Amino acid sequence: MAEYDLLIIGGGPGGYNAAERAAAGGMKVALFEERALGGVCLNEGCIPTKTLLNSAKIYESALHSSAFGVTVEKASLDHSVVVDRKDKVVKTLVSGVGAKMRGAGVKVVPATARILGKEPDGFAIEACGEKYTAAKLLICTGSEATVPPIPGLREAVESSLAVTNREILDIRQVPESLVVIGGGVIGLEMASYFSAAGASVTVIEMLDKIAGPTDREISEILKSNLEKKGIKFALGAAVTSVGGKAGDGYVEYKAKDKTERVPCSLVLVSTGRRARSVGIGLETLGVLTNRGAVVTDECGRTSVPGVWAAGDVNGKSMLAHTAYREGEAAVNSMLGIKDSVDYRAIPSVIYTKPEVACVGETVESAAKVGIKASEHKISLRYSGRYVAENEGGDGIAKIVVDDEHKTILGVHMIGTYASEIIYGAAAMVQRHDRVSDVRRLVFPHPTVCEVLREEMFAIN
Ligand code: NAI
């Protein structure tokens, strides 16, 4: 008989949440984590970056407070104190996850787990010289930053001239100049913080717009706001080489047939992440992968019966909140409860100032799946609270509606509180709400989210 009902590899949001749910469902669970509980999200992603960005927000508010009748003399940002606070926040939350696991009765094994294969007793895992067996296995090993094969970049990483999202969180001194390779979520959030902290920041992005799949107009509004803060952008730019030494380097890129060289003291590589599926023994079971990502169905089942996967390792959405849902859907599927993740309604947020938050389709993406849709735009200045709290804000919200049924397919926003408003929009998308349904909802007043209600009345 297997010792456990479920063995989970990886204690990030996918793994620890699934462990709690599985234990609540009556399963005997062991969770393996080789670093700290909480995974990338808690230790080197979502939480530390939000801590840094909040300090930047407070500092920028102090700098611009006179417009609001508040005088702050000699405002300054002490990066070292910000990093100490970030460490404190992370420590608190990591120990909170530990307490949750203890409370749920989950056995946490703080070690690297390796799958040994399927044995008569079930799936076998080795960790720290001990063997564990269970009837079911859940893979939540997450993802890692990619370092593209740019000449000189690997050497730059080795010499610490270049860093990834992990190392940059622990640097104690703000670099004089920072080049960010990749204008996606990580690149923009880090560019925002380090620019506020005093670095001269240049973002080099291969595409002709920042923020990846974000609505083009919203991407442009974000770029113009970040430019006003002094961040420079090179778009449609292919990085050709990185050189120099730590503290004194350069990045060269080619854009419109011209080669430019940007001197810098630090380089951040934020060109995307890839699933972590190698070296854990998946091959002993023959679990199917596609370009390193574990192939799963809508409730997390892999190609091998009894083995599930959730979170970044499946390469689908690479967001902590998706990992939570995927872990839950996997556990429900193990328990025989019908469940699946609705990937249409997963919100995404960029925590810059202004914030960007989106959910669902754009007109273009709807067209690709054969739906004729229209976009309805409203300025956030229709919100009394937005006007009261922002000087010259240029935030907008766009609602994407299916032309035939007037169903809400997507909401895309830039501006204050967008990150907190978007879950309501996600609920509309997930429930297939129609414009007429939302017209009957009561929104609190005065709030920024009210613009969504207002816009519903402009849609015919
Ligand atoms: P990303 O995929 O968001 O952006 C990478 C960007 O780098 C793309 O725009 C790409 O065109 C560009 N790029 C790639 N190679 C390049 C090159 N050689 N030269 C110039 N540009 C190049 O990846 P990112 O920012 O590294 O984030 C990784 C993951 O972490 C994402 O899946 C993201 O969703 C997640 N994340 C989410 C956060 C949030 O929800 N707020 C915060 C941080 C990360």
Q: Between the CA of residue 196 and those of 60, 87, 184, 190, 460, what are the distances in Å?
A: 7, 20, 18, 10, 43
**Phi, psi of 268, deg, nearest 5:** -105, 125
What number does the ligand 1 atom closest to the CA of 146 have? 26
352 lines ligand 1 (CB under 6 A): no
185 lines ligand 1 (CB under 6 A): yes
pTM of the predicted protein model:
0.96
Span from the CA of 36 to the centroid of ligand 1 (angstroms):
23
210 lines ligand 1 (CB under 6 A): no
Read off the pLDDT of each residue in 89-100 and give the average, rounded to a whole number.
Answer: 98
Compute how many other C-beta atoms are within 10 angstroms of the C-beta atom of residue 277: 23
CA–CA gap between residue 293 and residue 143 (Å, rounded):
9
Q: What tokens were used for 214?
A: 């974000």
45 lines ligand 1 (CB under 6 A): yes
Q: Which amino acid is at 76?
A: S
Span from the CA of 171 to the centroid of ligand 1 (angstroms):
21
Q: What tokens were used for 56?
A: 């930047």
Q: How confident is the model at residue 413 (pLDDT cuts 50, 70, 90)?
A: very high
12 lines ligand 1 (CB under 6 A): no
**Phi, psi of 307, deg, nearest 5:** -120, 125
Q: What is the crossing angle of helices 185-196 and 216-228, to 10°?
A: 20
> Which domains, and CATH codes, for the chain?
2-144+274-341 (3.50.50.60), 153-271 (3.50.50.60), 344-456 (3.30.390.30)
Span from the CA of 223 to the centroid of ligand 1 (angstroms):
16
Buried b (16+ CB within 10 A) or exposed e, 150-182: bebbeebbeeebbbbbebbbeeeebbebbbbbb
DSSP 129: T
Structural contact between residues 434 and 407, judged by C-beta atoms closer than 8 angstroms: yes
182 lines ligand 1 (CB under 6 A): yes
Structural contact between residues 355 and 417, judged by C-beta atoms closer than 8 angstroms: yes
Span from the CA of 156 to the centroid of ligand 1 (angstroms):
19
CA–CA gap between residue 233 and residue 230 (Å, rounded):
10
pLDDT score of 408: 98
pLDDT score of 45: 95
Partnered with residue 32 across adjacent β-strands are 9, 109
213 lines ligand 1 (CB under 6 A): no
At 290 the three-state DSSP class reads: strand
Partnered with residue 250 across adjacent β-strands are 243, 263
Buried b (16+ CB within 10 A) or exposed e, 204-218: bbbeebbbbebbeeb
184 lines ligand 1 (CB under 6 A): yes
Q: Which of 271, 353, 422 to mutate to test the pocket of ligand 1 (most atoms within 8 A of CB)?
A: 271
Partnered with residue 180 across adjacent β-strands are 203, 268
pLDDT score of 329: 98
Q: What is the crossing angle of helices 46-63 and 185-196, to 10°?
A: 40
User: Does 460 score more than 90 pLDDT?
Assistant: no
Q: What is the crossing angle of helices 13-24 and 320-334, to 10°?
A: 30
User: Does 2 score more than 90 pLDDT?
Assistant: no
User: Does 1 score more than 80 pLDDT?
Assistant: no
CA–CA gap between residue 335 and residue 299 (Å, rounded):
12
Q: What is the crossing angle of helices 79-104 and 46-63, to 10°?
A: 140
Q: Which of 206, 260, 312 to mutate to test the pocket of ligand 1 (most atoms within 8 A of CB)?
A: 206
Q: What is the pLDDT of residues 26-53, one digit of tens each?
A: 999 999 999 999 999 999 999 999 999 9
Span from the CA of 188 to the centroid of ligand 1 (angstroms):
9
Q: What is the pLDDT of residues 298-337, one digit of tens each?
A: 999 999 999 999 999 999 999 999 999 999 999 999 999 9
Q: Which of 273, 314, 321 to mutate to test the pocket of ligand 1 (most atoms within 8 A of CB)?
A: 273
Structural contact between residues 363 and 375, judged by C-beta atoms closer than 8 angstroms: yes
CA–CA gap between residue 280 and residue 213 (Å, rounded):
32
Q: What is the pLDDT of residues 245-300, one digit of tens each?
A: 999 999 999 999 999 999 999 999 999 999 999 999 999 999 999 999 999 999 99
Span from the CA of 273 to the centroid of ligand 1 (angstroms):
7
10 lines ligand 1 (CB under 6 A): no
Question: Which residues are the active-site residues?
Answer: 445
Q: What is the largest CA-CA distance in the chain?
A: 73
